[in-house]
Structure 1
Amino acid sequence: MSTTPSLEALFNQLANGIKQASSEVNQETLINWINRCQELAERFKQGDEAAYQQGQDTVCQLISYWPQLTPIIPRDLLWLLGGECLHFMPEEEISVYQQLEEQQASAEATNQRFDWQTTKQLLSAQITTSKQFH
């Protein structure tokens, strides 16, 4: 069993983050971005594979137009969308996600439970500790 975050949940999380950042962006623009995120969440919920490209485009545009909102974008969303979104992730972070997916695949191959968030935190902590000692 795996607990990888769903793109639906991540886009809903992003929409909520944008709502909370209302002082950063004018109201009309804010509503448009929230609607785009909610539409993408619904498309992913329905299993629409074509939503990946629109999701990548939406996230990349959000970062380009409002870089101050970048901290509210879930890092899992960047990784799971892939493509152009990976350009906004440092190499160390990409390494964490690569290890995370390897461990997830290993756990699934042996029918073991895998907790995405806990494992990600442990891997991130290992990289932080490693950087401190080098």
Structure 2
Amino acid sequence: MSNVVADHLVLLDHLRSILVAVGEAEQVPEESHALFLERFDELLASLPIDPIESQYLGQDILTQVISRYPQIAHLIPRDLLWFFAGDCLHYLSDEEIDLYQALEERRYEAEQNDEPFDWNQEKQLLAMSAQDSKH
């Protein structure tokens, strides 16, 4: 399993724990919530095995989180929206999309030059330089 997939599984686990908490707070219909968590678990199981095939399920689940649980939409890790792409990109701002495109370019360059690449570290550096350019 690639580091990219492993990193996103951690983010998905975090999001699942938020969904479980929402269910326990009884803010949602219990039966449909349980079925939704089952589909979420399907994604967790299939992503490491077939990341490409899991893209559509991931897109569907994330867009459903936003529509079914608007109270937690702001808690969805932005990296997940970028990773699954498709309809998920509608929920990212233009600035966020620019940031992620720059990150992808940096990762590609690092891979081409056999250099190490730390996604989270690079993301912080790019975000800080974007803040500096605004001031």
- Give the TM-score of the pair, scaled to structure 1: 0.84
Does residue 122 of the first structure (1) align with residue 125 of the second (2)? yes
Match of 1:4 in 2: 4
Q: Specify every segment of 5 or more residues in structure 1 that has no aligned partner in the other structure, as ranges.
A: none
Shift of 1:26: 4.3
Cα deviation code 1:29-67 (max 9, x no counterpart): 443333222210111111153221121011112111221
Identity of aligned residues (%): 35
Counterpart code for 1:17:
I
Counterparts of 1:25 and 1:72, CA distance in 2:
17
Q: Which amino acid aligns with 1:83?
A: G
Name the amino acid aligned to 1:97.
Answer: Y
Aligned partners of 2:22 and 2:28 also within 8 Å: yes
Distance 1:44 1:58, change over 3 A: same
More helix by proportion, 1 or 2?
A: 2
Question: Counterpart in 1 of 2:18?
Answer: 17
CA shift for structure 1 position 110? 0.7
CA-based RMSD: 2.0
Q: How many residues end up aligned between the 2 structures?
A: 131
User: Within 5 A, what are the aligned runs for 1:45-60?
Assistant: 45-47=48-50, 49-60=52-63
List per-residue Cα deviations over 1:74-119 (Å, max 9, x = no partner): 1111001001000000000111100101000111111111000111
Per the TM alignment, residue 14 of structure 1 is displaced from its structure 2 partner at its CA by: 1.6
Stretches of structure 2 lacking an aligned partner (at least 5 in a row) = none
Matched, 1:69 2:69: no
TM-score when scaled to structure 2?
0.84
